[in-house]
Amino acid sequence: MQVLTSHRPAGIALACGCCLLLVSGCQSNLGQTPARQVRVLAAASTASAMEEIAEQFQQRHPGISIIISTGPSNGLTQQILAGAPADIFLPAHRQWAELLDAEGLSSRTVDLLSNHLVLIVPRGNPAQVQLPGDLLTDAVTKLVIAGEHVPAGIYAEQTLNALQLFAPLQSEGKLARGSDVRTTLIFVEVAEAEAGIVYATDAQRSDLVEVVATFDPLTYETVVYPAILLQAGDASPQARQFFDYLISSAGIDIFTQHGFASLDSKQLPHPP
């Protein structure tokens, strides 16, 4: 099995390097009170939505600086366990919330969002993939999914196993893995693979891929994004304020605009 984390095309290396977003409400003018920082770690698939939510929040609260780092949920979890500074965490799988809770590092957890898996191809569909079964044809030499410990990769492997495609794809050497779901998307965008499995939200943001199939949600466990206020964040009024905004109707509205589904839209609090 190939792991697509090295020898990337230049465009891939550039795109994947941009994983730290600083959305600051303070100016560099001398004499101004520095903004208070809130550090957020979030699954790669939430990057665009998180940036927009942070910008909107800071229009209301210009004295607070939101620093967002995105990447694979498992890697971000390991950073938190190793003591990396973080106030809020938004992974793409409940197992990471459960692990942090077991370690006594979380203060509050809300199951916030859901997503679903789609089969994508490069624009123009050169291998003429229409159904998951077409992945076994000679026209497909590479299917890329996210890493085996990354939520998107876990879900993709589950659905391929349910469709009895994982074993033959692996035995034929067709299966490759990206470091996270955004890397997986990029490899299909640049036609380094004839097909890929990503979240619908990632496919929605790209003009370089086509969605040819949506996987039956009964073939993989429900995709859940828990919002976690960590113990360090609970000690910060600014972090608590941003967490409340993140899970409010204002935050959810932005997530849904990016294609996510709310898990409990009837009970959303109003934004502070």
Residues 196 and 211: their CA atoms lie apart, in Å, by 10
* DSSP code at position 247: T
Q: State yes or no: 45 annotated in a binding site.
A: yes
Bridge partners of 90, per DSSP, are 42
- Write a three-state SS string for 185-221: HHHHHCCCCCEEEEEHHHHHCCCCEEEEEECCHHHCC
Q: Where are the beta strands (DSSP E) in 115-173?
A: 117-122, 143-146
Residues 113 and 48: their CA atoms lie apart, in Å, by 15
Contacts of 145 (CB under 8 A, 6+ apart): 152, 153, 156, 157, 160, 175, 176, 177, 178, 184, 196, 197
Does residue 211 contact residue 200 with C-beta atoms inside 8 Å? Answer: yes
Q: State yes or no: 181 annotated in a binding site.
A: yes
Q: State yes or no: 220 annotated in a binding site.
A: no
- Annotated binding site for molybdate, which residues? 45, 73, 152, 181, 199
